[in-house]
Amino acid sequence: MALLNPQAWSWSGKTLMETNHLLSMTGVKDATDTLRRYAPETPEETLAASYERAVFDLLYTAVIKGKRVPNLQPTDIDDAVDFSLVAQCIESADLAPDKRKRMLAWLRDQ
């Protein structure tokens, strides 16, 4: 249902912080055709994150801004997200140790 409301979409660099400097294009794909089914005006080459990349981006944004992850617990999404892939992204990213620790702590709460 969230796809039916493009105003509710989260955009990297707008509602979430840009993380390509940390993970390059890991977990990102061109989703233009899929999104145009719901929002015909979707621009060409619109990229979308996998669930795992989206969780990484959400955690990173929360940690950098010094906030809690809003309205989301790992148990809310554990049927769709491979948390081992999220942990791999966190471990491979060039993060300050305290930031990495906070991101991994959220995963441990699952």
User: Is 5 inside any structural domain?
Assistant: no
In the chain, pLDDT over 90 holds for what percent of residues? 48
User: Is 93 inside any structural domain?
Assistant: yes
Q: Give the length of the chain.
A: 110
User: Is 3 inside any structural domain?
Assistant: no
DSSP symbol at 56: H
Domain region containing 64: 17-108
Q: Which two tokens stand for residue 2?
A: 């969230």
Angle formed at CA 16 by CA 12 and CA 21, multiple of 5 degrees: 60
Q: Which helix (DSSP H) or strand (DSSP E) does residue 91 occupy?
A: helix 83-92
Determine the pLDDT at residue 77: 86
User: Is 72 inside any structural domain?
Assistant: yes
- Owner of token pair 């977990």: 27
Q: How many domains would you assign to the chain?
A: 1
pLDDT tens digits for 7-35? 666 666 666 788 999 999 999 999 999 88
The pTM score is 0.81
Q: Where are the alpha helices (DSSP H) in 7-50?
A: 20-23, 32-36
pLDDT > 70? residue 100: yes
Determine the pLDDT at residue 75: 83
